[in-house]
Structures are given as C-alpha cells and as structure tokens.
Homo-oligomer: A and B are copies of this chain.
Amino acid sequence: MTHFNLEADHTGRPLRPKVAVDTVVLAFTEGRLQTYLLKIGRGPARGKWAFPGGLVRAGETLDDAARRELRAAGVGPGIHLEQLFTFGDPRRDPRAHVVSVAYLGLLADQGEVSPPAGKYVDGRWFSVAALPTLGYDHSLMARRAVGRLRAKLGYTNIACNLLPGTFTFSELETLYAAVLRRRLDRRNFRRRILAMNILRRTAAMRRGAHRPACLYRFAQRTAQIAEIL
C-alpha cells in the first residue's frame, strides 16, 4: 500500500471520512471499576490494546453498529449503551480519516463476555486505575467515559447498569466510593439513597461470612434523573 492509496481514491480525489463506533466497556467487579480491552491483531495499532469497535455499515444506526461490533468482540447483548463523544481528528487513525462515535457501555455482569475472534487476538479486563498503553486515541475515550460515569452517578440511577438485579447497600456504596475515589459515610449515604425512593428492599438476604445483609433492587432499571449526591 502506498501513501496515496490511504488518503485518496485511484482518481486522486481525497476520500471522504469514514464513520466508526468504539465502546468503552465498563464493569464493576472485585471492588474496582474495570474495562474490557482487546488486543489488536492487525493494522498500525497491532499489539496494542483498544476498545471494541469498527466501521459503521450503510443503512445501520450508530447504536446498531456499536452492538454488532460488541457481539463480534464477545460482549453480550445485555450491555447498557449511551453515546459519549465523537472523535474526529483526521490523524487519530494513521491509515485513513476515520470519525469515531464513542459509546459508554455498562455491564452488570462480567460473565457476559466471551473470548473474541477475528481481528482481535486477546481480550482482558483491566482496572481503569492501571490501563496499559492504548491504540489510537482510546486513552482519551477512557478518560471521558469514566468522567461521564462519575458525573452521572451524582444525578441519575446509572449505577443500576453496573449492578446485578439485587445487591446490598455495601455493594452500592463500594461502587460509588470506587468511581468517585473518595470515602462515603455509610449512614449518610444510606439515608440519601433511601430518601430518593429509587430502591426497593427485597425479602431476600445475602448470607456470607458474617452478618447477613438485606438485598435491594432498583425500582426502575430505565434511565432516571434524580438528585443523588
């Protein structure tokens, strides 16, 4: 491939930008916010880690494209997606001018991920606190994704997309504390969350090594705005 083929067609006319989607997949496990990265098997970012993504096809919505690329990367359909930001620097991909619509993807269950194939040679979870070097501009995407999540924890019920159907108050608090990177007072946290009336207490209890804990679920798992923190 010559340089001319990369930026222009065979008549010398510059190519229009292409459209891609990329999804920052986040999950909360082992008390840490983690993200799913794929090792790229080909192209200029070969050997680097990157978020699942690829070109949008003709006639396809952006959400559909993101879900199709996630499926190809082994990520299950239960993921919550929301648009994050569109990255359009013409040099973000050295091969061609590719405009990428980035998504934030939240997964309640890490088990919903199976090994990838095709253009990827490996897939792994990383703590967002210690990411490897990422390909393209995916570090920017990661920063923006965590920033968005952090902001929305404060005024929406977005946490429901990172937790299983039922969970204890401790788990919810650990999630908030980990994402916001600060300690929370257990009593104040509990009072505020309960005051919002977005949780329902279930009859079940979580039994473990110590005193059992009440299990709660979100009253609604659909997006909901409410002053939280």
The answer to whether A60 has its CB under 8 Å from any CB of chain B is yes
CB of A19 within 8 A of CB of B59, answer no
Q: Known contacts A7-B59, A14-B58, A59-B7: does B86 contact A86 (CB below 8 Å)?
A: yes
A55 within 8 A of B: yes
Residues of A at the B interface (CB closer than 8 Å) are 7-8, 14-19, 55-63, 65, 83, 85-86, 88-90, 97, 99, 101
| A18-B16, A19-B16, A19-B19 as given contacts; A97 in contact with B7, CB under 8 Å | no
A7: chain B residues within 8 A (beta carbon): 58-59
User: Smallest CB–CB gap between A130 and chain B, Å?
Assistant: 27
- Cα separation A63 to B14 with both chains bound (whole Å): 19
Assess whether A17 is in contact with B19, with CB atoms less than 8 Å apart: yes
Contact A89 B101 (CB under 8 A): no
Residues of B within 8 A of A89 (CB): 61
User: Whole-angstrom distance between the alpha carbons of A15 and B90 in the complex?
Assistant: 20
- Measured CA separation A101–B88 after assembly (Å): 10
Q: Which of B16, B60, B88 contacts A62 (CB under 8 A)? A: B88
Cβ-defined partner of A101 (8 Å) among B59, B61, B86: B86
